[in-house]
Structure 1
Amino acid sequence: MARIKRIMPIILALAILAGALGGCGSEKTAESPEQSPEASDGAMPKEKASYPSDGKFTLNCSLSSSFNPMTTTDLSNILVTQLMYDNLLEVDAAFNYTPGVVTECKSDDGSGWYFQVDTNAKFWDGTLVTAYDAAYSVQCAMRSPRFSDRLDCVIGAEAENDDTFVININGKNTLFPVLLNIPLIKNGSVGETIPMGSGPYVLNGEMSELAVNTHHENAASLPVDKIYLTEITDIEDKISAFEDAKIDLVTNDPMSFTNLGYGSANEKRAYATTNMHYIGFNLSGQYFSNTLFRKAMTYIIDREYIVTNIMNGMASAATLPFHPAGEYYNENFSEIISCSVSKAEEALDKAEVKDYDNDGLREIMVTGIPIETGIDFIVCSDNVYKIQAARSIVKSMEALGINVTLRELPWEAYKTALTAGNYDMYYAETKLSADFNLKAMLFMGGPLNYGGISDSTLEGHISAYMSASDEERQKVANLMFKYLTDTAPIVTICFEKQQVVTHSGVITGLRPTQYNIFHGIEEWKIDLG
């Protein structure tokens, strides 16, 4: 297996470089013959591939790491805990919340929230779940490194009785429930190695297998009675174990340096994430303080080319800082500001970024004197996909007569330049919350507002969206989208996809989400041969 590890990065780099960076409407590259068919809709091939099944359904884990869902940071164990713990609420593939332990939620003002729990739900030991357990879980999540960021708006959580608990938040957020896809643990148990949970499976004392929680509402319809655990820490050994069917399901981030080359007879199901790639600007600089210049960038960037040719389809192109799969995304704005050379030229001319001296390059006017453009563009060099995406943007800008210097910086140098404002534009990625709250990025003083955005009208649109009723939200969203596209404080490129990898023909009914790979596991069918 060592040879695979050495050659895979080389193949990856050559494949990306081979897709010569193009302009709007560039041809799409053919699918790699080594890539297994995507099954993002859950559809499976008609024929099951042959593989050395051991008759057991097995997951990887880390025995040296915690299985406490509030504290563990190990990715394998996080996956296992999704089977052990029910969530208060679930979030579906369209980023809407659906019932979990919480069956109803309501708020009169978007600040004070009342939640009703399923009083028939039981923990592994058969005791009933109460609102006290749910409120306690929220309190623990507020201090958890996994969940504290999304819950930083929470003032407090408290149970009113066995059935109902209350959460008060700072400000108004009528989408707040979508943030409560957090695990339920028993009141007072967070300090335990394995807190009491209510999920469909329970871990045995030897931490070697998961057995069906007979008290769970879906116990009779779960696809297997036992899920076995094994510990494999080496990356090459993990790939070998999967190919030998010693592991039956893995997750993969194809956009990360940790991307693993699972081959042979397997299936990859892609699922949407809130990981957004975008271009940010230094709004106090001489170039992008010009709103029209920023807007021109929305037409210059060929998102479809980047997603298809560079990211191998492992992202969804987007013109708005909202996922296209979301309920309130408006495709009309994508059509208005999608890549167009003619629209880009027109926008640049309106921005007075023109070829004043007929040398084939565009200039800006400074005190009546044409000055050659010289955009300082930074990107983190730790990710080959981001580098190639940034290079494609440079190529598109240069084709329109804009001089650009791309600085590919190591992570620490990139962070330093970003926080110091030492750039004109930057390529970035951020993980948005499921409510797509843009305050951290676009409010003055926000922790992700690196470009110095200060726009009270924009802040008003965002606040209106976050506090809108269900009936008014699309209308309010459209007003916000129009303002975002008109002013272009940032330019969205895409949202990443990630993958669940399984052996071909083994699992049907799988519908993974960013927050729960095993969402709807009671509908799975597992054929181990």
Structure 2
Amino acid sequence: MQIKKMLRLSIALCLAVTVSLPGCGLYDLPDEIDDPSPSIEDFAVEPKQTQTNKRGDEIFSLVYDTGASLNPLTCADSSNTVLMGLMFEGLFYIDEEFTAQPLLCRSWTSLDGLNFIFEIRNGIIFHDGTDMTADDVVYSVNHARTIGPYVNRLSCVSDVFSENGLVKIVLSKPNMQFPALLDIPVMKSGTGDDTIPVGTGPYTYTEAADYRFLSAFTQYRDYTKLPIQRFYLKEYETEDLIQAFEKSYIDLVVTNTSEPGFVQFSEEFEKRLAATTEMHFLGFNNKQGYCASALRRLILSSLIDRDSLTTTLLPDTVPVVLPVNPLSPLYLMEVADTALIKPESINDFMISAFVEDFDHDEELEYISNNQVTDFALDMIVNRENNKKVSAARQIAETWKSKGYNIILHEMSWDAYQTALNAGQYDIFYGEVKLTCDFDLSELLGTSGTANFGVSDSELDSLIYAFNSSGKETRLEATKDLFVYLCDNVYIAPLLFEKLAVFTHRGVVSNMIPTQQNIYHRIKDWHIEF
């Protein structure tokens, strides 16, 4: 599980991830280039089309940072990271419902969720013309265990080896959904530390004269279905990206409107949304004070207007009451529909929880140890993201309107982290990037690295059963886990973020971006100029 800085590990303050796209057909490169570092105006093209926002050239360009690598394990540049989906492939890909589908893997088996056997596909060719083998896969998994963004998710791996052409992986704890973690890039053995490792993807990095581009790989298995022969790579400063896109010098932009520095474009452009595993939620101090009661936590959660949050303050997000993206088949509507108290029943539940304005001072009190107790709830939020602060403010105002005395602390990261670790809060606004198997061990398990105060052996057992359940028992294990979470309300899930992908109208069709790969199913794309 990758936890954002909002939850103790490093926060990714997502500036716009921009990519450019439009072009079809091969273009001959010029023999000479006078200016190897052209400005925006050097790429100006008079439109050939009159349709709004439709490209007028037949060059498909992507944003690329020449100062960063194209190594998926070491690259920290957002623009270059997006390009990896064109150059590398994994044993599996993650579809739009966060389900693992075989890609470089032909088949797999596991009887216990601990020992996995993977048969790799035949005829997969690396960009250097050599065949992919099981040893290359073993090398790639082992390398990803030691460096880069996949280290945490692969911490459960205790051994990886090849035997008779098969890849065998042994886990330290059972997880029947482990293939959902194996969309990691497969590289040729020995190239993992290169600036550009050797991959198997549909496009390969090429330089000619002073041009850089991704060229369709002629030995790729679906080469004849690829929508374009070359993606040209252009470099722009961050402040020039919006202008470059709006003037059609680049053709695709990826942004997260929930993050600082997001890029927002007009409705004139086509916008596609990609679901993510990035969840906003509220955490509670369940050890002491008002929030020590599960019923009182449930009342607080039920008062939140999640629809308002996702339509007014955090657009391009989806409201949730369960800790799983609603596009996943794991999001059980039969549980979600009964997770919260209906508005008309709130007052009855408050009376049952002994929460009332007993002294008629327009603020609530609750009964503790047979005594009426005044209380104030300290809510903390990291102030580095204005949208999350606005969401926390709206939630606090909603509670205040019901008589709660809420003190909202908008804190620096250091102060926020200190308060979390010391348990100096009643409620915190958090964000976490879950893995695609939606394993909650790190967030809610007793020994989880992102767990703040939850210690429940029964919950640990339910998470274990959820992870180790196979196809026949998955539904039952999922329901048991989520019903328990709804009853105990250790966290209040709020929403999941989406990535927004903008293109010029009428240029790209059949595009279905995912969180893992904006170029998901690139062979199905159609590009028109």
Band of TM-score, shorter chain: 0.7 to 0.9
- TM-score, normalised by the number of residues in structure 2: 0.88
Residues 54 and 506 of structure 2 are in contact (CA less than 8 Å); yes or no, is this contact kept in structure 1? Answer: no
* 1:150 to partner: Cα distance: 1.0
Residues 89 and 183 of structure 2 are in contact (CA less than 8 Å); yes or no, is this contact kept in structure 1? Answer: no
The corresponding residue for 1:316 is 318
Distance in 1, Cα, partners of 2:495 & 2:302: 14
Residues 319 and 333 of structure 1 are in contact (CA less than 8 Å); yes or no, is this contact kept in structure 2? Answer: no
The corresponding residue for 1:165 is 167
Is 1:53 the counterpart of 2:56? The answer is: yes
The corresponding residue for 1:74 is 77
Distance in 2, Cα, partners of 1:216 & 1:402: 61
The corresponding residue for 2:484 is 483
* 1:439 to partner: Cα distance: 0.7
One-letter code aligned to 2:231 = I
The corresponding residue for 2:451 is 449
Aligned to 1:193, what secondary structure does the other structure show? coil
The corresponding residue for 1:276 is 279
* 1:191 to partner: Cα distance: 2.2
**What whole-Å deviation, never above 9, does each CA across 1:129-152 have from its counterpart, x for those lacking one?**
111111111111111221111111
Deviates more, 1:480-489 or 1:396-405: 396-405
| 1:288 maps to which of 291, 311, 316 | 291
Aligned to 1:208, what secondary structure does the other structure show? strand
The corresponding residue for 1:95 is 98
Aligned to 1:90, what secondary structure does the other structure show? strand
The corresponding residue for 1:154 is 157
| 1:136 maps to which of 133, 139, 160 | 139
Runs of 4+ in 1 over 6 A off after TM superposition: none
One-letter code aligned to 2:498 = K
One-letter code aligned to 2:217 = N
The corresponding residue for 1:33 is none
* 1:264 to partner: Cα distance: 7.3
Distance in 2, Cα, partners of 1:475 & 1:150: 25
**What whole-Å deviation, never above 9, does each CA across 1:150-203 have from its counterpart, x for those lacking one?**
1111112111133x1011111100000000011110011112221111110010
The corresponding residue for 2:113 is 110
Distance in 2, Cα, partners of 1:401 & 1:342: 17
The corresponding residue for 1:501 is 502
Residues 115 and 165 of structure 1 are in contact (CA less than 8 Å); yes or no, is this contact kept in structure 2? Answer: yes
- TM-score, normalised by the number of residues in structure 1: 0.88
The corresponding residue for 1:36 is none
Aligned to 1:337, what secondary structure does the other structure show? coil
CA RMSD of aligned residues (A): 1.6
Distance in 1, Cα, partners of 2:440 & 2:207: 44
One-letter code aligned to 1:56 = I
Residues 79 and 517 of structure 1 are in contact (CA less than 8 Å); yes or no, is this contact kept in structure 2? Answer: yes
The corresponding residue for 1:39 is none
1:228-239 to 2 correspondence within 5 Å? Answer: 228-232=232-236, 234-239=237-242
* 1:339 to partner: Cα distance: 6.4
Distance in 1, Cα, partners of 2:382 & 2:478: 32
One-letter code aligned to 1:435 = D
1:1-12 to 2 correspondence within 5 Å? Answer: none
Deviates more, 1:431-440 or 1:100-109: 100-109
Is 1:225 the counterpart of 2:229? The answer is: yes
| 1:399 maps to which of 392, 398, 401 | 401
Distance in 1, Cα, partners of 2:514 & 2:341: 29
Distance in 2, Cα, partners of 1:255 & 1:216: 37
Closer, same or farther: CA 52–119 of 1 in aligned 2, 3 Å: closer
Residues 302 and 339 of structure 1 are in contact (CA less than 8 Å); yes or no, is this contact kept in structure 2? Answer: no
**What whole-Å deviation, never above 9, does each CA across 1:489-526 have from its counterpart, x for those lacking one?**
11111111111111111000101111011110000001
The corresponding residue for 1:190 is 192
The corresponding residue for 2:432 is 430
Structure 1 unaligned blocks of 5 or more: 1-46
Aligned to 2:373, what secondary structure does the other structure show? strand
Distance in 2, Cα, partners of 1:65 & 1:220: 31
Residues 355 and 361 of structure 1 are in contact (CA less than 8 Å); yes or no, is this contact kept in structure 2? Answer: yes
Identity %, equivalent residues: 34
* 1:340 to partner: Cα distance: 3.5
* 1:411 to partner: Cα distance: 2.0
One-letter code aligned to 1:308 = T
* 1:105 to partner: Cα distance: 1.4
Deviates more, 1:47-56 or 1:100-109: 47-56
* 1:205 to partner: Cα distance: 3.6
Distance in 2, Cα, partners of 1:484 & 1:525: 44
Aligned to 1:423, what secondary structure does the other structure show? coil
**What whole-Å deviation, never above 9, does each CA across 1:349-376 have from its counterpart, x for those lacking one?**
2222222223332112244331222000
The corresponding residue for 1:362 is 364
Aligned to 2:355, what secondary structure does the other structure show? coil
Residues 208 and 229 of structure 1 are in contact (CA less than 8 Å); yes or no, is this contact kept in structure 2? Answer: yes
Distance in 2, Cα, partners of 1:397 & 1:221: 55
Closer, same or farther: CA 425–50 of 1 in aligned 2, 3 Å: closer
* 1:48 to partner: Cα distance: 4.7
Aligned to 1:178, what secondary structure does the other structure show? helix
| 1:326 maps to which of 322, 325, 328 | 328
Distance in 1, Cα, partners of 2:51 & 2:339: 44
Aligned to 1:328, what secondary structure does the other structure show? coil
The corresponding residue for 1:28 is none
The corresponding residue for 2:124 is 121
Residues 96 and 327 of structure 2 are in contact (CA less than 8 Å); yes or no, is this contact kept in structure 1? Answer: yes
Distance in 2, Cα, partners of 1:190 & 1:513: 25
Residues 110 and 172 of structure 1 are in contact (CA less than 8 Å); yes or no, is this contact kept in structure 2? Answer: yes
Distance in 2, Cα, partners of 1:456 & 1:327: 26
| 1:348 maps to which of 347, 350, 369 | 350
Distance in 2, Cα, partners of 1:444 & 1:70: 30
Distance in 2, Cα, partners of 1:338 & 1:504: 41
Distance in 2, Cα, partners of 1:95 & 1:441: 19
